[in-house]
Amino acid sequence: MRRIITYFYCLLTSAVVSAQINTDQVMQVGRNALYFEDYMLSIQYFNQVISAKPYLAHPYFFRALAKLNLDDFQGAIDDASTAIERNPFITDAYELRAVAYQNLGRHAQAIADYNHVLSMLPENRGILFNKALAQEESKDYEGAAATFETLLGYHKGYDNGYVGRARLRLETGDTVGALADVDKALQLNKNSVNAYLIRADVAINSNRDFAKALEDMNEAIRLQPKYAGFFINRAFLRHNLDDYYGAMSDYDYAIQLDPMNYVAYYNRALLLSEVRDFDKALLDLDKVIQLRGIDYRALYNRAVIKKEKRDFKGAIEDIEKVIEAYPSLAAGYFLRSEIKRDMGDNTAKADFDHSMALARQGVTKGPAKSSDSASALAATSRKDEPAKSSSPFDDDILRADDEPQDIVAARFTSLLTIDDNMNLEQEYNNKSIRGKVQDRNVAITIEPMFAVSFYNSPTELRPNPEYIREVDDLNRTRALRFMLQVTNNVPALTDPDEIKRHFDSVEYYNSYLSSHTPRAIDYFGRGMDFMTLRNYEAAIADFNHAVELAPDFTMAFFMRSIARTRQLEAPSDKNTSNDSDQPSNTALTRQQQRVLASEAMADMDTVIKLSPEMAIAYYNKGVMLIGLQDFTSALTAFNKAVEINPSFGEAFYNRGYVYFRLGNREHGSADLSKAGELGVIPSYNLLKRMSR
């Protein structure tokens, strides 16, 4: 079925150019893609219907549905609102918009939409349940209790309703009432995972009964054996019951289930450190930092381990980053004083004295520049109190200024737990509203630079190469041996015949240039062959000849910039020398890298000067500026790219990334949503991760 849809999509793309599309047919294919959870593809179909008939309501509704399933909540709200403007009688659009509002924490607007639906469907179970959750999340506990009362009056056998009310009662301190609701839910449904989790939570927080909590957590794992967070939380319970091996096995299995779960690596590192297995602990903390960027808990504990391993230089580097972020944290200066003392550094006493002075004060936050480098942690100084892991972009180790030193210090060495154990899932009247989110857990990276190549890797959503006028002009001359394509996904050559073809082409140019008056296009053609064969140094030499012969050869400057960038990336894997003069070689390499980066940027600036309407040139410049950590200038470059080409999905994606790096969540989300609309596949994954 997927192949049929893809084939039809390719036919449809070409048909749009020459004739009006059959909107009913395209709409049906889009709904088919939606049904099969191919949300990105369905959006492309709905885009076509909207372009042809923007006055219709349902294409906006179904596009909103696809966006909601991709966790693009603001995009879903915008489309649902447009659908309601065009047809205010689509009840599902109000429900969809309410769900999106609720996921963004805009509970008052969600409740208003739920009320609108309830005016027509007053006994609807899912709407009542979601409204109660929204009221609870907005701290309207009386309203939530009343809604749960109405819900359970209509639906007495609804186990999740009792679970929801149990959580509400816990929030308001009614532990007895909460346990009664949990027992009722389990009486109705022995497989209610959330009921076991709530009862485990009560056992921990009411009387520290870890054994009883472990029994309920075991039941939750039996029912949902593939959720890594449950194993992380069970490990916490086992650790408090002195079952070291059980806790370690749970962390190991959590990592098998979710290799990107930094909490499991962090906690395993703490346990390994307890038994002085410092080498393995260090590897786990390195992994945490790799996954999270700067994580101050991991840095603090890595400094402790490096001190034990007598890597004093590394320990100092780590603890100084913590001190920079938390300049009033006594524990940071105390650890640095111990490291310096072991090094024989006479300034150790000054750090020790400073830590003693700070110990009588509260902790305040230092001038950390980016919120995404802060750790998420909330615990007390008790050993058996679980610290809650949250979003890497929202929270901080310090929950409020002027907190006591011992409490804050304890957070640097406390085990973490996952805090979404009891997240009750919303329920939906329209069963299409919530499907399987396309959630490949990929590393957060920007979209790469565009290059000119003889090859392309088309995707289902991006079947055609990008357009640059100068490339089209070159292809029209037929002066090159192969047709040029514009892509940011150049495939690796694996076919021996293709590889041989380009070696043969280089030999052809060698012979031709030795027997004819050299032309810029010939050097450019051979340079492109060298680019294909990854011989960047030779490619740069040929592009040099091309621009010497034709100083206005835009694409020669363009490709020389790409070649220099590729050469800049290549040497990093070659610096494996163990000779004593390695530092000087490394310094020389860095100097070469700075020169190459400057030359690559200068070439792209020349391209912009020669072709000021080439959006891809501004885009490539933006990518290079991100590499230089110059996010403000990168933003300017991407702004220009999307100004020239408002359909430039990759530019919207990278600009969204830059906005997030600069702390502008609203603009970042809007750009990622737009990029997703335009077919950039990683957009919704990044949007989801940034919105947690």
**Per-residue pLDDT tens digits for 533-563:** 888 888 999 999 999 999 999 999 999 999 9
Residue 197 has pLDDT above 70, yes or no: yes
Which stretch of DSSP H or E encloses residue 61?
helix 58-69
Pick the closest to residue 307 from 328, 346, 278 (CA basis): 278
First to last CA, the chain: 34
**Per-residue pLDDT tens digits for 17-75:** 333 568 888 888 788 778 767 788 788 889 989 999 999 999 999 999 999 988 899 99
Structure-block tokens of residue 561: 């910039």
How many Å separate Cα 552 from the centre of its chain? 41
Pick the closest to residue 94 from 79, 75, 113 (CA basis): 113
Helix axes 631-644, 615-627, angle to 10 degrees: 160
**pLDDT reported for residue 133:** 94
Query: What is the mean pLDDT of the segment spanning 656-680?
Result: 89
Q: Which one of 163-172, 374-383, 438-447 scores highest in mean pLDDT?
A: 163-172
**pLDDT reported for residue 671:** 93
Tell me the pLDDT band of 115, cut-offs 50, 70 and 90.
very high
CA distances from 469 to 348, 463, 547 (A): 65, 19, 19
**Per-residue pLDDT tens digits for 306-336:** 999 999 999 999 999 999 988 888 889 999 9
Confirm if 263 and 297 have CB atoms less than 8 A apart: no
**Residue 98 — left, alpha, or beta (φ > 0 → left; ψ -120 to 50 → alpha)?**
alpha
Q: Between these two residues, 167 and 496, which has the higher pLDDT value?
A: 167
What percentage of residues in the chain have a pLDDT greater than 90?
57
**Per-residue pLDDT tens digits for 512-533:** 899 999 999 999 999 999 888 8
How far is residue 11's CA from residue 498's CA, in Å, rounded to a whole number? 29
Give CA angle at 618 (522, 614), nearest 5°.
Answer: 55
**pLDDT reported for residue 412:** 64
Which stretch of DSSP H or E encloses residue 141?
helix 141-154
Reduce the secondary structure of 312-373 to three states and give it as a string: HHHHHHHHHHHHHHCCCCHHHHHHHHHHHHHHCCCCHHHHHHHHHHHCCCEECCCCCCCHHH
3-state DSSP call for residue 94? Answer: helix
Asked if 226-418 and 451-690 have one fold, the answer is yes
Structure-block tokens of residue 639: 């702004």
Tell me the pLDDT band of 439, cut-offs 50, 70 and 90.
very low
**pLDDT reported for residue 649:** 92
Spell out the domain ranges in the chain.
Answer: 2-188, 226-418, 451-690
3-state DSSP call for residue 480? Answer: coil
Sign of CA dihedral 107, 113, 114, 119: positive
Tell me the pLDDT band of 369, cut-offs 50, 70 and 90.
very low
Q: Does the global pTM surpass 0.85?
A: no
Pick the closest to residue 20 from 60, 59, 45, 51 (CA basis): 51
**pLDDT reported for residue 401:** 56
How far is residue 568's CA from residue 242's CA, in Å, rounded to a whole number? 52
**pLDDT reported for residue 378:** 27
**Per-residue pLDDT tens digits for 402-414:** 566 666 566 666 7
**Per-residue pLDDT tens digits for 214-237:** 999 999 999 888 899 999 999 999
CA dihedral angle for residue 586, residue 587, residue 588, residue 593, rounded to 10 degrees: 90
How far is residue 622's CA from residue 164's CA, in Å, rounded to a whole number? 48
Long-range CB pairs of 105-108, under 8 A, 24+ apart, other chains included: 105/137, 107/134, 107/135, 107/137, 107/138, 108/138
**pLDDT reported for residue 407:** 63
How far is residue 573's CA from residue 334's CA, in Å, rounded to a whole number? 38
Count Cβ atoms below 10 Å from residue 391 Cβ, excluding itself: 14
Beta strands 387-389 and 416-418, pairing class: parallel
**pLDDT reported for residue 423:** 58
Lowest mean pLDDT across 134-148, 457-471, 596-610: 457-471
Sign of CA dihedral 256, 260, 264, 267: positive
Query: What is the mean pLDDT of the segment spanning 280-308?
Result: 92
Dihedrals φ, ψ of 579, to 5°? Answer: -70, 160
How many Å separate Cα 688 from the centre of its chain? 7
**pLDDT reported for residue 408:** 56
Q: Between these two residues, 637 and 433, which has the higher pLDDT value?
A: 637
Residue 263 has pLDDT above 50, yes or no: yes
* CATH architecture of residue range(s) 2-188: Alpha Horseshoe (1.25)
Q: Where are the beta strands (DSSP E) in 604-679?
A: none
How far is residue 645's CA from residue 668's CA, in Å, rounded to a whole number? 18
Instruction: Give the CATH class of 451-690.
Output: mainly alpha
> Is 2.60.15.10 the CATH number for 226-418?
no
How far is residue 129's CA from residue 318's CA, in Å, rounded to a whole number? 48
Beta strands 485-487 and 451-453, pairing class: antiparallel
Which stretch of DSSP H or E encloses residue 418?
strand 416-418
* Chain mean pLDDT for the chain: 83
Count Cβ atoms below 10 Å from residue 570 Cβ, excluding itself: 12
Q: Between these two residues, 575 and 363, which has the higher pLDDT value?
A: 363
